């Protein structure tokens, strides 16, 4: 059988490959030709707004191990700790939008499992990522309108045309270990040799099927930036295991099948010891989480430009987290299991080179600890190249949730080439996010601070029960307004850009963006407990906005040398706070100078903006590759201006007398040398080379030096 | 032109690298010792209590109050009426996280009710060392806060020494706020409540940072005068 023979070939290659094995071949990177039958679920083909793409080569050269490491180096992105949700709550912020509003996709399907809205990207290894796409703003409506702030799409390895394997071993600071084993092969050749000769005399693969398998193990001891800890880490230590597989098979000329699966497991034990003046306290934080994703796609190419895609996706996320003190007192537990099923039917119709349509209908079923939430959706997108200069994209998505009814979200994008050098773009889109389970059903009392949070559906019964038990001293008038009719949050995003290429190989991009968030769900105090502590629930209150400018310059002036520069200017503010300051409402009406103790009336101009957002972000990257020597190197620097950490003068808004995270700059470098005709590579990477740390950024590790060995096995 | 662009890039890189120096980790440990005042570090409150109900494996109960005698630097957990009505304490650390601090006053509502305590407390928005005199009796009585806890809570006029941040859900002490007190036996003094978290960190970065561990300093004028000068 052909299949097994190819697998044998792969296994033999894996076992017996030596440097001497290789023969001369000029290509040093993995060649790839897409199995034509399968259309990729890419953002590039689905978003009205500009898409940032990070490709495999960039990832390889950077030498990053986990997804959070890659993302924190991107313009306009920050990885921030959510202090109020515990030391493990860390999420990605995009254009000033917090992690709640950023959708993380794997091959176009949503990933789940969040900690108070935060998706910890360090769950994901970059080892089998082929490319990462980032769309900012509420525009990628076809992938899910709940992505008010943006979408990150992780595309796993797709291009397979020859049997090859790869083993990567990395070791470095903080006992960091990263092992990857990857193998892939095409199978079931159409012709006897498995190759056909294309028109330009190059041989390309022609197989009916491809298979890719990869496994990764990662360990870190974590990193501590808190000098008050004598033991333990502020970026927790963990072990992570992941396995990933993908099978594609062309059933016949028109039908193909694609099956993909991913399984990941993470265990982490973080024992923190606080010691000061003979007082010793131990906190033990244990986390187990697992993650399963499975997708099955059947694609049928019908006649005359019609294509039909039927897909089923299932993901399960389960976590148990326990925080206890040395006296075995439990401080916090966070255990849940979440299932998400999606079934979707998609139709694509290519009318002509100028006009194409894509549409689909689907249903989601989300099950979490006995509660289930059904939703349905439909979308339609049209792409029209009006002429050589002008193209447009128009999309609609309709979402319907069991409880919240339906909503239509449009998005539109325009591109106009003013000249060969100047391209103008404009996009607008809306997004919509229904309140999650927590906001509807949770009943939670924080054991540390003592406040209680009630989901809107629980308010009436729980408050009555607490009152009956004599736990409530005061119920506020606003409690009557809390109803199950919590409205979904809604965002409108605008983006206008110009791309200018003054000379060949130099490009300047400038984009202005503005995102407005309506019906923002905020906590509100509805009652006071007899112990003086507040009882909170949720209400649609303030309107926030984020707006600014993103600019980039990329140059490719010398062969092998790529240099780029990125900048983001960001204003992120809460209009509710601005209104309160204007109206002179307590406690927003005053501003206390903490250096002198003096208090004066506040002005709107005293308000700096939302916490944890830097006004200026800058990055600089130099990537260099000298092919004759097989040497490549990168140098990257990331600057973020100061950002607010927390209120320090009790007026509930960020002003100049509050606590700030200082401006900082992180430097990264890497160097790689390929040996043995590309079969072997040695890489040294330095993350945070200058070892900059700040206690107020618990999740940002100091200097991590790593040495890695990559062994690639491929037929010449 | 390309050559020049390269040099510009190189210069930019060099500048950036030099700008990225190592930080002092944002931790500045202040020195509170002035040679005259008493500084108490990490005085443990009721660290076993929980305010939550329904948390598995933990019994919920209110925080036990403790009492502190300034002159003797003595902490007492005796909550008998006889003790509370005595002059053997000046400050009572009560309620949630023991952070609601009462003075020992026999006439008003509070732990010292019905006793002989003459305690008063007022707030001054000024640095500790800059508070040099206690006000006259009359002003002291009218400005009396009775207790200092959560600033602006339960009412905006309740001046306190810390507040809860709704952003991080942590207690944040208010800097440069000094309390002028009268002790149980009628002596004048000043008090700075510095922190409720272990080790007195400049900012708390962990929701589970051990608490309550009190850091505070005080000075009591033993000659009975209103002079509160400290270096």
- Whether B74 has a pLDDT exceeding 90, the answer reads yes
- Whether A72 has a pLDDT exceeding 70, the answer reads yes
> Which residues of chain A make contact with B22, given a CB cutoff of 8 A?
690-692
Rounded mean pLDDT, A343-360? 91
Rounded mean pLDDT, B125-136? 95
β-strand A176-189 against A164-172: which pairing, if any?
antiparallel
Which chain A residue has the Cα nearest residue B172?
A: A648
User: What does the pLDDT read at residue A422?
Assistant: 95
> Which residues of chain B make contact with A666, given a CB cutoff of 8 A?
20
CA angle A92, A98, A104 (to 5 degrees): 50
* A2 backbone dihedrals φ, ψ, rounded to 5°: -60, -45
Q: How confident is the model at residue B208 (pLDDT cuts 50, 70, 90)?
A: confident
8 A C-beta contact, residue A150 and residue A429: no
Condensed to tens digits (0 to 9), the pLDDT of residues A619-641 reads 999 999 999 999 999 999 999 99
> Which residues of chain B make contact with A696, given a CB cutoff of 8 A?
26, 203, 205
- A650 and B151: CB-CB below 8 Å? yes
On whether any CB of chain B is under 8 Å from the CB of A563, the answer is yes
- Six-digit token pair at A72? 């924190």
Condensed to tens digits (0 to 9), the pLDDT of residues A502-516 reads 998 999 999 999 999
Between A350 and B96, residue with greater pLDDT: A350
User: What does the pLDDT read at residue A529?
Assistant: 81
On whether any CB of chain B is under 8 Å from the CB of A173, the answer is no
- B2 and A327: CB-CB below 8 Å? no
- Whether A197 has a pLDDT exceeding 90, the answer reads no
Query: What is the spatial distance between Cα A312 and Cα A345, in angstroms, rounded to a whole number?
Result: 9
| A255-264, A449-458, B30-39, B175-184: segment of lowest average pLDDT | A449-458
Percent of chain B's residues with pLDDT above 90: 68
Q: Which of B23, B165, B209 sits opposite A692 (nearest CB)?
A: B23
Q: Which of B6, B41, B154 sits opposite A528 (nearest CB)?
A: B154
User: What does the pLDDT read at residue A440?
Assistant: 81
Q: Quote the minimal CA–CA distance from A370 to chain B in Å.
A: 19
> Which residues of chain B make contact with A597, given a CB cutoff of 8 A?
124-127, 175-177
- The size of chain A, in residues, is 716
User: What does the pLDDT read at residue B19?
Assistant: 54
Contacts of A467 (CB under 8 A, 6+ apart): A475
8 A C-beta contact, residue A392 and residue A413: yes
Rounded mean pLDDT, B4-15? 63
Best CA proximity match to B194, nearest among B65, B71, B83, B32: B32
- A690 and B20: CB-CB below 8 Å? yes
Rounded mean pLDDT, A440-448? 73
- A622 and B13: CB-CB below 8 Å? yes
Between A277 and A286, residue with greater pLDDT: A286
DSSP string, B48-72: T-B--SS-TT---BPPPPEEEETTT
Q: Which residues between 482 and 511 in chain A have a beta carbon less than 8 angstroms from any beta carbon of chain B?
A: 503
Q: How confident is the model at residue A139 (pLDDT cuts 50, 70, 90)?
A: low
On whether any CB of chain B is under 8 Å from the CB of A690, the answer is yes
Condensed to tens digits (0 to 9), the pLDDT of residues A4-63 reads 444 444 433 333 333 333 333 333 233 322 223 234 466 666 666 778 899 999 999 999
Percent of chain A's residues with pLDDT above 70: 88
User: What does the pLDDT read at residue A461?
Assistant: 86
Query: What is the spatial distance between Cα A134 and Cα A114, in angstroms, rounded to a whole number?
Result: 19
Between B160 and A199, residue with greater pLDDT: B160
Asked if residue A587 has a cis previous peptide bond (ω within 30° of 0), the answer is yes
A405-438 residues labelled b (16+ CB within 10 A) or e (exposed): eebebebbbbbeeeeeeebbbbbbbbbbbbbbbb
Q: How confident is the model at residue A537 (pLDDT cuts 50, 70, 90)?
A: confident
Between B5 and A2, residue with greater pLDDT: B5
Is the Cα dihedral A166, A171, A175, A176 positive or negative? negative
Rounded mean pLDDT, B50-55? 53
- B207 and A274: CB-CB below 8 Å? no
Condensed to tens digits (0 to 9), the pLDDT of residues A660-705 reads 999 999 999 999 999 998 899 999 999 999 999 999 999 999 999 9
User: What does the pLDDT read at residue B60?
Assistant: 63
On whether any CB of chain B is under 8 Å from the CB of A646, the answer is yes
- Measure Cα distances from B138 to A62, A103, A598, B134, B135 in Å: 71, 63, 24, 11, 8
User: What does the pLDDT read at residue A453?
Assistant: 83
Question: In A196-257, which residue ranges form alpha helices assigned H by DSSP?
Answer: none
- B127 and A558: CB-CB below 8 Å? no
- A449 and B170: CB-CB below 8 Å? yes
Q: How far apart are the first and last CA of chain A?
A: 23
User: What does the pLDDT read at residue A542?
Assistant: 67
Task: Supply the mean pLDDT for chain A.
Answer: 86
B66-90 residues labelled b (16+ CB within 10 A) or e (exposed): bbbbbeeeebbeeeeeeebbbbbbb
User: What does the pLDDT read at residue A659?
Assistant: 95
For the entire predicted model, the pTM comes to 0.88
DSSP string, A549-580: EEEEEEEEEETTEEEEEEEEEEEEEEHHHHHH
User: What does the pLDDT read at residue A36?
Assistant: 30
User: What does the pLDDT read at residue A480?
Assistant: 78
Q: Which of B51, B56, B127 sits opposite A333 (nearest CB)?
A: B56
Query: What is the spatial distance between Cα A204 and Cα A226, in angstroms, rounded to a whole number?
Result: 55
> Which residues of chain B make contact with A622, given a CB cutoff of 8 A?
9, 13
8 A C-beta contact, residue A654 and residue B167: no
User: What does the pLDDT read at residue A43?
Assistant: 67
| A52-61, A145-154, A544-553: segment of lowest average pLDDT | A145-154
Which chain B residue has the Cα nearest residue A668?
A: B17
> Which residues of chain A make contact with B123, given a CB cutoff of 8 A?
none
User: What does the pLDDT read at residue B63?
Assistant: 84
- Six-digit token pair at B159? 């001046």
CA angle B133, B135, B139 (to 5 degrees): 170
Q: Which residues between 588 and 627 in chain A have a beta carbon less than 8 angstroms from any beta carbon of chain B?
A: 592, 594-599, 611, 620, 622
Q: Which residues between 174 and 213 in chain A have a beta carbon less than 8 angstroms from any beta carbon of chain B?
A: none
* A327 backbone dihedrals φ, ψ, rounded to 5°: -85, 15
Q: Which of A281, A503, A611 sits opposite B210 (nearest CB)?
A: A281
Condensed to tens digits (0 to 9), the pLDDT of residues A201-213 reads 444 457 889 999 9
């Amino acid at each position: 059988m052909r299949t097994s023979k190819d697998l044998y070939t792969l296994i033999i290659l894996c076992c017996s490959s030596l440097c001497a094995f290789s023969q001369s071949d000029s290509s040093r990177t993995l060649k790839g030709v897409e199995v034509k039958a399968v259309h990729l679920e890419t953002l590039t083909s689905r978003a009205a707004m500009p898409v940032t793409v990070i490709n495999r080569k960039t990832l390889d050269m950077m030498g990053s191990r986990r997804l959070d490491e890659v993302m924190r180096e991107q313009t306009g992105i920050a990885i921030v700790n959510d202090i109020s949700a515990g030391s493990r709550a860390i999420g990605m912020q995009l254009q000033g939008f917090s992690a709640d509003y950023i959708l993380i996709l794997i091959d176009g399907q949503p990933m789940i499992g969040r900690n108070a809205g935060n998706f910890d990207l360090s769950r994901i290894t970059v080892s089998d990522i082929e490319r990462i796409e980032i769309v900012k703003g509420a525009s990628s409506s076809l992938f899910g309108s709940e992505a008010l702030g943006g979408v990150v799409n992780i595309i796993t390895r797709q291009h397979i045309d020859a049997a090859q394997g790869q083993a990567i071993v990395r070791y470095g600071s903080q006992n960091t270990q990263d092992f990857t084993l990857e193998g892939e092969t095409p199978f079931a050749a159409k012709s006897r040799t498995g190759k056909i000769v294309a028109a330009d005399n190059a041989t390309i693969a022609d197989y009916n099927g491809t298979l890719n398998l990869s496994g990764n193990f990662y360990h870190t001891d974590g990193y501590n930036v808190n000098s008050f800890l004598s033991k333990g880490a502020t970026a927790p230590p963990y072990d992570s295991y992941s396995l990933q597989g993908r099978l594609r098979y062309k059933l016949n000329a028109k039908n193909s099948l694609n099956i993909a699966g991913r399984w990941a497991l993470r265990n982490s034990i973080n024992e923190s010891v606080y010691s000061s003046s003979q007082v010793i306290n131990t906190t033990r934080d244990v986390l187990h989480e697992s993650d399963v994703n499975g997708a099955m796609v059947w694609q049928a190419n019908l006649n005359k430009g019609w294509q039909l895609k039927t897909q089923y996706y299932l993901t399960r996320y389960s976590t148990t987290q326990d925080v206890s003190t040395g006296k075995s007192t439990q401080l916090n537990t966070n255990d849940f299991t979440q299932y998400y099923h999606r079934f979707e039917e998609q139709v694509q119709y290519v009318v002509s080179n100028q006009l194409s349509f894509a549409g689909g209908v689907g249903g989601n079923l989300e099950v979490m600890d006995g509660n289930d939430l059904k939703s349905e959706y439909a979308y339609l997108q049209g792409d029209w190249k009006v002429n050589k200069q002008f193209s447009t994209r128009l999309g609609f998505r309709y979402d319907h949730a069991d409880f919240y009814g339906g909503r239509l979200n449009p998005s539109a994008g325009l591109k106009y080439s003013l000249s060969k050098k100047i391209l103008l773009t404009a996009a607008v889109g809306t997004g919509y996010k229904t309140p999650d389970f927590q906001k509807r059903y949770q009943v939670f009392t924080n054991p540390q601070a003592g406040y209680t949070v009630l989901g809107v559906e629980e308010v009436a019964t729980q408050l009555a029960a607490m009152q009956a038990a004599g736990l409530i001293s005061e119920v506020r008038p606003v409690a009557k307004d809390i109803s199950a009719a919590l409205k979904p949050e809604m965002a409108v995003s605008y983006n206008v850009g110009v791309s200018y290429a003054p000379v060949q190989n130099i490009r300047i991009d400038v984009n202005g963006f503005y995102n407005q968030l309506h019906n923002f769900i905020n906590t509100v105090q509805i009652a006071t407990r007899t112990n003086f502590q507040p009882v909170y629930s949720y209400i649609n209150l303030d309107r926030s906005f984020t707006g600014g400018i993103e600019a980039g310059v990329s140059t490719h002036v010398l062969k092998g040398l790529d240099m780029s520069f990125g900048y983001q200017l960001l204003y992120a503010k809460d209009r509710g706070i601005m209104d309160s300051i204007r109206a002179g409402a307590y406690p927003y009406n005053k501003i206390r100078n903490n250096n002198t103790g003096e208090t004066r009336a506040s002005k709107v101009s005293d308000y700096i903006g939302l916490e944890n957002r830097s006004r200026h972000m800058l990055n600089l990257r130099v990537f260099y590759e000298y092919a004759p020597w097989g040497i490549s190197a990168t140098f990257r620097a990331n600057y973020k201006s100061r950002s607010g950490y927390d209120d320090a003068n009790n007026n509930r808004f960020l002003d100049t007398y509050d606590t700030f995270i200082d401006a900082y700059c992180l430097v990264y470098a890497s160097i790689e040398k390929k040996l043995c005709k590309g079969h072997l590579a040695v890489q040294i990477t330095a993350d945070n080379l200058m070892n900059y740390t700040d206690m107020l950024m618990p999740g940002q590790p100091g200097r991590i030096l790593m040495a890695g060995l990559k062994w690639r096995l491929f037929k010449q | 032109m390309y050559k020049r662009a390269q040099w510009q890039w190189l210069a930019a890189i060099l500048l950036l690298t030099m700008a990225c120096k190592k930080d002092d980790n944002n931790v500045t440990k202040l020195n509170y010792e002035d040679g005259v005042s008493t500084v108490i570090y990490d005085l443990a409150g009721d660290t076993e209590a929980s305010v939550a109900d329904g948390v598995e494996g933990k019994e919920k109960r209110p925080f036990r109050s403790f009492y502190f005698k300034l002159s003797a630097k003595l902490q007492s957990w005796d909550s008998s009426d006889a003790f509370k009505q005595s002059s053997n304490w000046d400050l009572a650390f009560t309620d949630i996280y023991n952070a609601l601090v009462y003075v020992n006053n026999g006439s008003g509502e509070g732990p010292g009710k019905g006793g002989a305590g003459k305690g008063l407390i007022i707030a001054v928005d000024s640095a500790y060392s800059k508070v040099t005199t206690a006000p006259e009796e009359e002003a002291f009585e009218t400005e009396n806060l009775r207790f200092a806890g959560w600033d602006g809570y339960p009412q905006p006029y309740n001046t306190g020494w810390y507040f809860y941040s709704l952003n991080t859900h942590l207690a944040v002490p208010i800097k440069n706020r000094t309390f002028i007190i009268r002790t149980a036996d009628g002596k004048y003094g000043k008090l700075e409540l510095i922190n409720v978290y272990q080790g007195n960190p400049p900012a708390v970065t962990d929701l589970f940072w051990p608490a309550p561990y009190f850091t505070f300093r005080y000075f009591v004028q033993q000659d009975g005068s209103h002079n509160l000068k400290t270096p």
